[in-house]
Amino acid sequence: MRKSEQYGLNWRDVDLQARRATLRETKNGTVRHVPLNTIALEAFRTIARRSGRRGKVLGRRKDRIQLLRTANGEAVLKKAELDDFHWHDCRHHFASKAVMAGVDLRTLQQLLGHKTLQMVCRYAHLSQSHELAAVEKLCNPISEGSRSEDTSHPEKSELAIQGASES
């Protein structure tokens, strides 16, 4: 969720039973439903116990600003070694982690609330280790059961099979 979506979220739009938050005021003007994973659900439950589920989920504006300015908020950022932290970095991090976990781009587009896949690609950054793992997959021999039959160039298939059996 965008910062404005998080701060604008009201308890009446959070359904803990259905594990879903409904965003009524979004950047692109469309209502969006955000599923809550187990960690997010527990965070919402904790906030709900403290707030009594009235008004804004994250409280009053001055309380939110104070949260990051407190020694505790500063300590968290320092411990995480985040010298140049921007709230929006969380969206990029979410997108990158989701793609590297195997979430398809169309689903990620829905989750982020982007109108185009091009915008999703601007947000999803792959780590070097993820890129390396992707090209390493090409080093593994193809098993018999997963080989697709390409009948357009049978001579190439035969050469590939012969080369594989010779090595």
Within-domain flag for 27: no
Using CA of residue 83, residue 109, residue 97, residue 32, what is the dihedral sign? positive
Q: Active-site residues: which are they?
A: 2, 27, 88, 91, 114, 123
Mean pLDDT of 44-51: 86
- What is d(CA 95, CA 101) in angstroms, rounded to the nearest whole number? 10
Q: What is the pLDDT of residues 138-162, one digit of tens each?
A: 898 776 555 555 555 545 445 444 4
Tokens of 28: 């692109």
Average pLDDT, the chain: 80
Q: What is the pLDDT of residues 54-74, one digit of tens each?
A: 888 887 655 555 555 555 667
4 has pLDDT over 90: no
Mean pLDDT of 13-27: 94
Tokens of 157: 């298939």
Mean pLDDT of 78-104: 86
Q: Are strands 14-15 and 32-35 parallel, antiparallel or unpaired?
A: unpaired
Within-domain flag for 77: no
113 has pLDDT over 80: yes
pLDDT at residue 144, as a whole number: 59
- What is d(CA 19, CA 1) in angstroms, rounded to the nearest whole number? 15
Which one has a higher pLDDT value, 145 or 134?
134
- The domain of 117 spans 88-139
Within-domain flag for 135: yes
H-helix or E-strand containing 35?
A: strand 32-35
Within-domain flag for 131: yes
Q: Categorize the per-residue pLDDT at 81 as very low, low, confident or very high, splitting at 50, 70 and 90.
A: confident
Which one has a higher pLDDT value, 8 or 145?
8
Q: Categorize the per-residue pLDDT at 122 as very low, low, confident or very high, splitting at 50, 70 and 90.
A: confident
Within-domain flag for 116: yes
Tokens of 166: 């010779």
Within-domain flag for 100: yes
Within-domain flag for 126: yes
**Count: domains in the chain:** 1
131 has pLDDT over 50: yes
pLDDT at residue 161, as a whole number: 47
Within-domain flag for 123: yes
pLDDT at residue 19, as a whole number: 97
